[in-house]
Amino acid sequence: MLPVILGTAKFGTYTDKAHSFDVLNQFIALGGTRIDTANNYACWHPDGKGGESEAILGEWIAEQNRGSIEVMTKIGAQSVDGFTYDQLDGLAPDNILRSIDESLTRLQTDHVDVLYAHVDDVNTPLLDTWKTLSSLVKQGTVKRLGISNYQEPRVLELVNVITENDLTPISHAQFRYTLLSPNITANFSPQIVMSEHLFGVLKHLDVRPEIIGYSPLLDGAFEDSADELPETYDNLLNCMLVEQLQEQANAMGMTTSAWVLKVIHDYGVTPVTAASHPDRLKSNLSAFL
């Protein structure tokens, strides 16, 4: 099994159905089994409203052996106005129940393997959110639960709430993560960057969730010149690190993207990676093949 999760955020919007199916089929052919989506993908696309990725994935799942695929989706971060992240639909119990029903319909399945609370909802008590999510596990609609984009104090508070109320534990924790450190002025809100301290906190939780990193390749930035990094990562130390990673990858006979995924995995973070073409996907995963 590939120790990598396939990200599908751009399926159904930036990537059309045919190319999405090609990438999915290539992923399975290479030994992949785990696929990541969310109910708000890709609301930031000019023609996207959210749900496009799940819908494309559902059409593909209908043609597969469902038992051989692990489907991960997320709820709670749908834009209320459809354009900005100023207000999200959140994790109130009624929205959780409505959202999972809609996701199951789009995904054309009777369960999801992992359901994430996509973004922390500070306006809803953690107990209310996690009781409702735990009820979905009890009824079999969801197999396991995860969190994404929670600040460290809220992670610890949630763990206490779960323990004190005998609720379903956190099995997955997903945050923005790559080998480069963002500039101090970078603002990815509502995304949370996983710092080394947060990584340590997650790693030492009694429940030991699988730690997952999204956006590890920064949309192909490691294949470009070190002088052309995204603005949020553009600094001298990162330029030097990219040059070093490119030299290491060249010595290993693989692309820098493939090497970056390997380094991240070996460090203890499961990467979520995406591609718009099957050949690019195979190249990115070459270190694991």
What residues are labeled active site? Answer: 41
Lookup result for tokens 């690019």: 280
SS3 state of residue 214: strand
In sequence order, what are the residues at sequence separation of 6 or more whose Cβ sits closer than 8 angstroms to the Cβ of residue 140? 111
Contact 87, 80 (CB under 8 A): yes
Q: Which two tokens stand for residue 175?
A: 């945050």
Nearest C-alpha neighbor of 284 from the set 2, 36, 1? 2
Report DSSP letters for 152-190, one per residue: HHHHHHHHHHHHHTTPPPEEEEEEE--SSPPPTT---TT
Collapsing DSSP to helix, strand or coil, 173 comes out as strand
17 is written with which tokens? 């159905």
Report the distance separating Cα 254 and Cα 262, nearest Å: 11
> Rounded to the nearest 5°, which phi and psi values hold at 18?
-60, -50
Q: Pick from 156, 99, 149, 101: which is nearest to 126 by CA? A: 156
DSSP single-letter state for residue 10: T
Are 132 and 89 in contact by the 8 Å Cβ rule? The answer is no
What is d(CA 145, CA 136) in angstroms, rounded to the nearest whole number?
Answer: 9
